[in-house]
A = this chain, B = another copy of it.
C-alpha cells in the first residue's frame, strides 16, 4: 500500500495548500476555472486537476454556464474536519478551559482503569 489517495477523504484533499487556497477563493462565491488560474498563478491543467480532486470528495460542485464551468464551494464536506479538530479545543483554549480539561482528563484516567502508564503503586 501507499499513501491514501487524495480523493479518499476531505482530510487528504485538503492537505494540499493549493486546494485550500481554491476553497478559500470559492468561499467568496462561484468562479470559473480561469479566474482561479489567474488569481493563483498556476497552469490551467493543474487547476483543473485540483478541482477534480475537490470535486471527487464533494468539496465543490460544478455548473456549466455558457462556455465556462462554474465551481462552487460545498462547505458541508469540511464539517468532518471541523468536528474532529474541535474535540481538541479544550487543550489550546483559555486558562479556564485548560482547568476544565485537566479535570476531565483526570476523571478519564481514573475511569479507564489501570494501564501501562500507571505510576508505581
A interface residues (Cβ-Cβ under 8 A, vs B): 3-4, 6, 9, 11-12, 14-17, 20, 23-24, 27-32, 34-35, 68, 70, 73, 75-76, 78-79, 81-82, 84-89, 91-92, 105, 108-109, 112, 115-117
Contact: B105 with A76, CB < 8 Å? no
What are 16 A-to-B residue pairs whose CB atoms are below 8 Å?
A3-B16, A4-B15, A9-B17, A11-B15, A12-B15, A28-B109, A31-B116, A31-B117, A32-B116, A35-B117, A68-B116, A70-B117, A75-B88, A75-B92, A81-B81, A82-B89
- Count this chain's copies in the assembly: 2
Within 8 Å CB of A79, what residues of B? 92
Q: Name the residue on B nearest A82 (C-beta).
A: B85
Kindly provide the distance from the CB of A116 to the nearest chain B CB, expressed in whole angstroms: 5
**Chain B residue nearest to A105 in the complex (CB):** B29
| Neighbouring B residues of A108 by C-beta, 8 Å | 28-29
Residues of B within 8 A of A70 (CB): 117
Give the distance in Å from the alpha carbon of A23 to the alpha carbon of B87 in the complex. 11
Do the beta carbons of B20 and A84 come within 8 Å of each other?
yes
